[in-house]
Amino acid sequence: MNILELVKERIVLLDGGMGTELIKKGLSKGEAPELWNEKYPEKVKEVHQAYFQAGADAIITNSFGGSPIKLKHFNLEKKAYELNKKAAEIAVEIKPKERYVGGSMGPTGQFLKPQGPYEENEFYEAYHLQAQALIEGGVDFILIETQYDLREAIIALKAVLEINKVPVFVTMTYNETKRGYFTIMGNSLEQCQKELIENGAQAIGANCTLDSRQMLELIKKMEKLKEIPIIIQANAGQPLPQPDGSITYSQDRDDYVKYIPEIIKEGARIIGGCCGTNPEYIKEMKKIIDNIK
């Protein structure tokens, strides 16, 4: 059964934060998390295993910043294919039966012309290479996530759909404003939903930036379409740097999960956590989903 068939049967639970978990394991500031796929694969595996044990139906690969354009910042662009393929293989290797692995593709961190120096074909080639590596590594679906520019998200979507091997999901990241929900590039929630569906996304939604209370308000504004599942992955609030250099988040587990039943009631079919969430959050969300069943 592919993941889209499972979504038709019940709520699907994704994992929580990856970066925050790797930081706990020693990832230092200014280090590429994707390099850990090569240097410390066992530590990456431990994070994935903890999420599967917490009850996640699907975990997301350690490849969020795996675009060759983003990896250029670390002089790792030539290793993009192997680091992404390795990210997929690590996750697939420890995947239990009847669970899933999604290939994470985050934003390039750069801008298209006229705001930035990049041409559309350069973004397309970067996303195409990343998707090929993740699919070659064995992922069950691709999650194009935390996108703040609709143009970029659609380029990434087209690049993956051209390979046409696995389902493709897209999540945008929004700010809450008096006029509604918008990306930092000024794309509205309504515009993103409409254009992503028109361009072939098989599930769409929102992740990062907003906490679970804010995500509840956001999903209320989304149009509900039977054939296109909605994905919601809220942050555990905002990051709060501590005197010892560690980071905590403003929304604790109990406050976070109390909004989950309503988010599901409002139409989320795929749900998980983003920055600041950990296996404990996912474990509580699993209990909520089981009760709903």
Half-sphere exposure of 229 (CA within 13 A, CB side): 23
Residue 68: partners with Cβ closer than 8 Å, 6 or more residues away: 77, 78, 80, 126, 129, 130
Per-residue model confidence as pLDDT tens digits over 8-67: 999 999 999 999 999 999 999 899 999 999 999 999 999 999 999 999 999 999 999 999
Number of H helices, E strands in the chain: 13, 12
- pTM, two decimal places: 0.97
Taking only Cα atoms into account, the Rg of the chain, rounded to an integer number of angstroms, comes to 17
Query: How far apart are the C-alpha atoms of 64 and 36, rounded to whole Å?
Result: 12
Query: How far apart are the C-alpha atoms of 12 and 5, rounded to whole Å?
Result: 10
Per-residue model confidence as pLDDT tens digits over 82-134: 999 999 999 999 999 999 999 999 999 999 999 999 999 999 999 999 999 99
- Domains belonging to the chain, first-starting first, are 3-292 (3.20.20.330)
Strand partners for 19: none
